[in-house]
């Protein structure tokens, strides 16, 4: 199983940096034992400054923020909440 999720955001110089993480979880039963593998890796970063937002991929190229808003659970609500100043 692989999924995208919001990481822990930080604020630097008035810019909010929201990391997007990809998590992987695999499991199997081998000879009566359970084998699990879990990993977390960076996938993208959302940069917010006031009401404006951008998304960058791991190579630093701009990527459509709307794609991440659709794919990452809770990101749309998080960005909307921040834009309202809550």
DSSP state of 83: H
Q: What is the pLDDT of residue 10?
A: 96
**How many distinct structural domains can be found in the chain?**
1
Tokens of 58: 């791991």
Q: What is the pLDDT of residue 55?
A: 96
Q: What is the pLDDT of residue 52?
A: 87
* Per-residue pLDDT tens over the stretch 5-59: 999 999 999 999 999 999 999 999 989 999 999 999 999 999 999 888 999 999 9
DSSP assignment of 30-77: ETTEEEEEEEEEEEEEEEEETTEEEEEETTS-EE-HHHHHHHSTTHHH
Give the structural domain span for 22.
2-83
Paired with 56 in beta bridges are 45, 62
Q: What is the pLDDT of residue 86?
A: 46
């Amino acid at each position: 199983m692989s999924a995208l999720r919001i990481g822990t955001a930080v604020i630097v110089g008035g810019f909010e940096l929201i990391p997007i993480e990809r998590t992987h979880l695999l499991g199997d039963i081998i000879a009566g034992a359970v084998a699990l593998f879990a990993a977390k890796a960076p996938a993208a970063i959302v940069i917010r400054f006031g009401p404006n937002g951008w998304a960058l991929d791991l190579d630093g190229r701009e990527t459509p923020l709307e794609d991440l808003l659709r794919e990452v659970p809770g990101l749309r609500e998080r960005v909307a909440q921040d834009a309202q100043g809550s």
